Every structure is written in structure tokens, then in C-alpha cells.
Amino acid sequence: MTAHLKDGPAELDRPQTPIWTGDIDIPAALRAGTRLRWHITEIDRTEDDRFELLAANRQALLAGGLTIP
């Protein structure tokens, strides 16, 4: 199974923010998926540079021990 991860204000049509800076409890979401083998950080809408946001998301997941390098 795969989880698509996003963070932000959790309001329709609001821009996404880096993981750990929004309203979504990413660790809880990953723990809830007991059969997850993959997770993907996804960007729909952001005011940030998309590549910088992806890099920040990767660093947040690595720092939190929620992904492997």
C-alpha cells in the first residue's frame, strides 16, 4: 500500500506547506497504515518553490525517522 503525504492548513484550496508545519499529524497517519510499504510526498498547490518544498518534506521525514535514506 502507498500513502500520499501532504501538509498545510487542512482547508480546501489553501496552499500546502512543508511537512511538520501544517495541521496534519503525519506520524499518526503513517502509523495508521500498518501495511504501508511506500509513501510519497505530493504537492497540489503551494506558494513555495516546489523543489524546495519536496526537499523540506524529505528532510522532515528523515529527521522524524519516518523514512529511509
Cell of 60: 522532515
- Distances from the Cα of 45 to the Cα of 5, 6, 53, 66, angstroms: 13, 10, 11, 23
What pLDDT, in 10s, does the model give residues 3-47?
889 999 988 889 999 999 999 998 888 888 778 788 888 888 899
Q: What is the mean pLDDT of the chain?
A: 88
What gap in Å lies between CA 59 and CA 57, rounded to an integer?
Answer: 5
Cell of 30: 503513517
Which has the higher per-residue pLDDT, 57 or 67? Answer: 57
